[in-house]
Every structure is written in C-alpha cells, then in structure tokens.
Amino acid sequence: MPDSLPDGADLKDFRIYLSIERNLAENTRLAYLADMEDFWAFSVKHGVRHPSKVTRTLLVQYVSDLAKRKMADTTLARHFSSLRMYYRFLVMEGRVKEDPTVYLESPKLPSKLPKILDVSDIIQLLEAIDTAKWLGIRNRAMFELLYATGMRVSELCDLTRDQLILEEDLIRVLGKGDKERLVPVGGEAKFWLNRYLEEARPNLLKGHLTHGEVFLNNRGQRLQRKGVWFILKELVKTSGLKKPVSPHVFRHSFATHLLEGGADLRVVQEMLGHSDIATTQIYTHLDSSYLREVHRTFHPRA
C-alpha cells in the first residue's frame, strides 16, 4: 500500500478481507485495491482523510472525475463495485456507521455479445505456428489447449503439471476463487500438449527451478499473461487473419461451438466454471442465424 494513504483508509485490512473472506481471485483483488487507492488520492486532495468523513457530495465529485477520464464502461462499473465492497467491509467491521455508497447508482452496461472466431479462423491461426521450433511447439500446445478447454488465460498461465490428468483426457482447472473444475481435453490438444511436455519444455526449462508450471517462457520461467497476449498478437499478424483476437476469444469460441454442436447449456456452464447459468446463456444468443436457417428449412409456414 502506498505510504501516502491516510491512516483511516484501512486498505491493508481490506486486502485481507478480499482474500480470506471474499476469496476473490488475485487479479480482482489487485484491481479493487488499485481503485481504492485512486479514490483516496482524490479524497485527500479534497481534504477528506477518513472513511467516516466521505459524503454523498464527495462521491458525486469522484464519479464526475472518473467520467472525465473516458474509461471503459466496465472499468467504471468496477470502480463502483470496489467502493461498495469497501464500505460494506467498513460497516461490517464497525469502523463507520453509515455507508455513503447507498446513494450511488451503477452505470448500466451495454449488452455486448462476445466476439468469436469461426472454426476456419481457429485453424488458420493454429496452422500459422512454426512448430519446427521449441517455442512454436509450446505456442501450438498453448492455443490448442485454450480452444479445447475454454480456460481463461490466467488459468492457463497458472496451470501446473499435477493438474494434468491426460491418461483420462482431463485437466483439473483452478478457477476464480480457487474453485476447481474438471475439463475434458480432446485428442488434438492432448497430442500437442504431450509433444510440448516431452520435447520443448525440457529445453525451455534449462535447469531452472519452477513450481511445476506447464507453460514457460524462453528464460525457463512461468509464462505471464502479457506474454500470451504478445505471442497471440504476433501470431495474428503472421496468419493474416483480419479479425480482432484476444486470448479470451478462444474461450468464447469454445463455448459457442459446443452449443452450436448441440451441447447441453449446463454442461458448458460446468466446463467454463460459471457459478450462474445466466452468465453462460449469453452464448445461446450468438447463433441466431443458425436458428433462422433451421426455421426457414423445417417450419411448414416459414
């Protein structure tokens, strides 16, 4: 925590609350804490140095300041969530009597359907990887696995060898809030993953000590999320694909292609690690063109 924070901010205890009691993922915790550091920097500039002194007027001023920064709607909404959770913690602990965030109205986020790739797009990307090199074998295994399992990029980077149950065609994925789920892995992804583990990973390891992470960078260390983004960016250029692609697009494509193939929604929910089926249901809206075609083909009065 920055030394400039006022004593009454209680962000060290808030960090413990987010980790132990809320069991939030590390990236979420870091984002919430960064939001609160931002809020306190603003508050101190306006002469407010204790949570109990924060007023509705100050919050309105802060929200106005956030709006001027032209941040994404999702980022703005997260700032609201951070403030609400922070004051919920303070009230619960008896550190303040009133919660000024009850007056805040969260911005309504536009309903956006996730971007997906066609199967042909996925193949175009995967086949553009030069697997004559160790890093190419790693990259092929990595993106095959993202598409085969729908795991998040953070889950991929955190993946360790003891989570691989390849003899049963399964991977034990550790998701948000340390929740575990078993996800099947198909033959193509399993082939490239085994090849990576046998041929490429020992050469990347170079005698370095690790905690068993599956995917390593060219220095024998755990591959970071930023590294995956950079590799994918370069791969898109190489492949000539003209669509916007991020690691998360593989997850969206995984879910959509399963549902298009007839998979049960609750099975897809389980594989994605969604606690609420409503989160998974967004993927059912993506294939409306297919539904229209089926209706036109088979309905007697279409």
Enzyme catalytic residues: 152, 176, 248, 251, 274, 283
Query: Cα–Cα distance between 200 and 196 in angstroms, integer?
Result: 5
Strand order in the sheet with 170-174: 164-165, 170-174, 180-184
Bridge partners (DSSP) of residue 166 are none
Look at residue 2 and give its three-state secondary structure: coil
Query: Cα–Cα distance between 248 and 231 in angstroms, integer?
Result: 14
Bridge partners (DSSP) of residue 182 are 172
Half-sphere exposure of 63 (CA within 13 A, CB side): 19
Query: Cα–Cα distance between 289 and 291 in angstroms, integer?
Result: 5
Query: Cα–Cα distance between 192 and 27 in angstroms, integer?
Result: 29
φ, ψ dihedrals at 211, nearest 5°: -100, 25
